[in-house]
Amino acid sequence: MPAVSKGDGMRGLAVFISDIRNCKSKEAEIKRINKELANIRSKFKGDKALDGYSKKKYVCKLLFIFLLGHDIDFGHMEAVNLLSSNKYTEKQIGYLFISVLVNSNSELIRLINNAIKNDLASRNPTFMCLALHCIANVGSREMGEAFAADIPRILVAGDSMDSVKQSAALCLLRLYKASPDLVPMGEWTARVVHLLNDQHMGVVTAAVSLITCLCKKNPDDFKTCISLAVSRLSRIVSSASTDLQDYTYYFVPAPWLSVKLLRLLQCYPPPEDAAVKGRLVESLETVLNKAQEPPKSKKVQHSNAKNAILFETISLIIHYDSEPNLLVRACNQLGQFLQHRETNLRYLALESMCTLASSEFSHEAVKTHIDTVINALKTERDVSVRQRAADLLYAMCDRSNAKQIVSEMLRYLETADYAIREEIVLKVAILAEKYAVDYSWYVDTILNLIRIAGDYVSEEVWYRVLQIVTNRDDVQGYAAKTVFEALQAPACHENMVKVGGYILGEFGNLIAGDPRSSPPVQFSLLHSKFHLCSVATRALLLSTYIKFINLFPETKATIQGVLRAGSQLRNADVELQQRAVEYLTLSSVASTDVLATVLEEMPPFPERESSILAKLKRKKGPGAASALDDGRRDASSSDINGAVEPTPSTVSTPSPSADLLGLRAAPPPAAAPAPASAGNLLVDVFSDGPAAQPSLGPTPEEAFLSELEPPAPESPMALLADPAPAADPGPEDIGPPVPEADELLNKFVCKNNGVLFENQLLQIGVKSEFRQNLGRMYLFYGNKTSVQFQNFLPTVVHPGDLQTQLAVQTKRVAAQVDGGAQVQQVLNIECLRDFLTPPLLSVRFRYGGAPQSLTLKLPVTINKFFQPTEMAAQDFFQRWKQLSLPLQEAQKIFKANHPMDAEVTKAKLLGFGSALLDNVDPNPENFVGAGIIQTKALQVGCLLRLEPNAQAQMYRLTLRTSKESVSRHLCELLAQQF
């Protein structure tokens, strides 16, 4: 930098600053500033031209006044004039003023751009650096458009000085972050990557920052940086502290550059080249080895620099998740920090070990530190460290240590900070459910949770225990006995009353044989809590009382007396009053048989993924709960939370009045958690065998007295979903469908469940059900890799006029999909008019830093809204003649593409949606069907006839509908199935 000449001291500025500091009051300061502003304004407007020094001095004063918090509305042109000066100090003050005060939309930008262009072309390194700094500081789009093409040229020019290259790289990074589309790398890519080999460490450091940002959008273009980054990292970590003297920080060679290189490598999967991978592993081992060496300095800066590189190295090892030896060594290294005297290091160690615990290679190594982590949970003074310790206990939990960890967390919960109690409750509930060796232990754990921290037990937790108790016959008696004993405590939390009311109302008869828990005793115990409860709990207890009348007729008179009491029949709350009146009338009017039918035991809940997971994910953030769905360690176990595909007996029967668009509270069933094998993520969910189908709503019997049944918790994705329809991108915003899209779509014309798409990264499965003009579809996205998907965004796109023909309401999914995990997306579909083209499903995400995208055709075709219609032969032929216009008939003769099997053909026609009519066609070999296409606008009647010719291996398909386009489209769809 040029030396400052003697006359650049700006004594007037120093005097002004001194006067401001000596002001005794705010008023005095404002008076002095206004006096100075008037003086500067008069100087700028005077006839006498100011020299460069005076301009610089006055502009500098204006800058100081602005930094004091006062508005400056003049002096900008004088600052621009300073840019044309050949003196460094004057040009520097001009650029400084512009960087701080000039708005990016200012009218002076063009003048400033001209001055910057002159400085960039001057080849004076000092002036070039000032200009580049100004571009980066202002960072406006107009400035980016003016210089985005010039800066890469300066960056890679052979005659550019190192300081200019550094400034150019950081300036380009700033412009790219502000306007990515303005930085066309293209021809410069290879030369920018080659800067990693530059001799000047400052240039390399700036280049790594730039490449790290650029490769996140275009990873393939910068893939060559991996080998160069590994080579540079290897040279740094193997060098002595004296080798890089200018870039050695407290005996640690180039710590900032090392950290940046390690972060750059985390944008890519492990190197494919064996030599590069070997060199990288060797470098990582060297870092781990150096961490074990005695410190070369006792200063905190030395340990900070070493630890920064170590933790970034461990992050890279975790990211790769492919080197068991390194993962175990990283775990052992972190274990040493768990008892370090520095609180920050203990925090970082616990946080990193949480991630290590989810790896199959290092999980066992993490478990060896369980005693230390439990001790940290008990003794740490910092609440954030205690919270990380609880997270680590949760992450390292499996069947071998579940009881120990749950008991320790329960013990800690009694004295835990209020800020983290709800999170601890959720984790205990999830672990107790996931690793329960017997259901009695699970019930005890949840009731203990309610007893210890009832205020923090959310609805999801006690809903879930009721769901599990209802579904498991072997635990119902124990649950009734346990909750009865818990209700006898003098102080009983309201959540305990809710659980007790529901369980005793359903299963109180299982303990009624004991005189100590006879029906009158049960009723008296529950009713003693009635006056202390909220309206919602009282409503549930009233439902329990009417259930008691069915279970225990001897309590009928007592309960009717309670219901008849004025406090109930004339209750100020409408809900309680209505229940009391209805239940009293029901118990008085209905016969015993009717009462038994109406008030029978609740049917089992459909098995679903625990909604407590969703609650925890919402508290922790989408990317912080990677272990929540990790089924890798207990793949063979049958978890309570529904890891096993439910049997048909546990699923409610759909009713014709089911609410397909989710207007009532009946939630969709969630997918089971991902099994162990990433390649077999969706096998159970999408089997076409007798597996349970989604329940679309309760039967009328189940819906009656639904207040007694706690709302079934939704799946995590449903709970996280935004009820409003997601905004779809236009067809022009997505790529074309994959080449096999039509073939994949044809597979689903006659079936609703199956795997829609699968490659080495992703598996997409579909489960759907349609009724009349409504449908609900569940899309299951399975991550088949061990690397987390980032920015995961599936969207449904309506090409052409489809938006007016088909309404698709989507629910959002989490933006991160952990390795080996699966997420579910719910689509609610309504057919408005007949349509010919299916909607498109666009899936975008980042894998290992690389953007991935694919477009599929969503398996929603017009025949999905087919309602089968039975009719006699006479009616069929009469209708067939009515649809005799040429445009109403579509016929196709085609060769069979599959073996001609009558049973298979029959199954396909039924799957297509039509009803098969027997004894209608004179030829028994032919197939005749009928149905109605249901849309919101109209109904389209449809008749079909399929004539197979086994000898010629040919088919003739004839369709007649009341609408020409529907006839042709259905004929094409069905013909492709044979």
Binding residues, by number, are 11-12, 43, 53, 57-61
The answer to whether 226 and 276 are in contact (CB under 8 A) is yes
- Cα separation of 135 and 149, whole Å? 13
- Cα separation of 616 and 614, whole Å? 5
The answer to whether 485 and 475 are in contact (CB under 8 A) is no
- Cα separation of 959 and 966, whole Å? 9
| Beta-carbon contacts of residue 702 (< 8 Å; ≥ 6 apart) | 602, 603, 652, 709
Two tokens, residue 650: 């546990």
- Cα separation of 6 and 73, whole Å? 31
Which residue, 671, 674, 859, is CA-closest to 756? Answer: 859
Q: What is the dihedral of CA 504, 505, 506, 507, to 10 degrees?
A: 30
Question: CA 777 → CA 680, 696, 780, 808, 859, distances in Å?
Answer: 21, 11, 10, 10, 9
Two tokens, residue 282: 């060797």
DSSP code, position 893: E
The answer to whether 120 and 128 are in contact (CB under 8 A) is yes
- Cα separation of 34 and 12, whole Å? 16
Token pair 């730039």 is found at: 210
Which residue, 973, 965, 900, is CA-closest to 935? Answer: 965
The answer to whether 717 and 814 are in contact (CB under 8 A) is yes
Two tokens, residue 542: 């009233």
Element (H, E) at 99: helix 88-101
- Cα separation of 850 and 789, whole Å? 10
Main-chain dihedrals φ then ψ at residue 803, nearest 5 degrees: -60, -30
- Cα separation of 12 and 529, whole Å? 82
- Cα separation of 833 and 773, whole Å? 9
DSSP code, position 186: G
The answer to whether 845 and 785 are in contact (CB under 8 A) is no
Which residue, 605, 563, 615, 618, is CA-closest to 588? Answer: 563
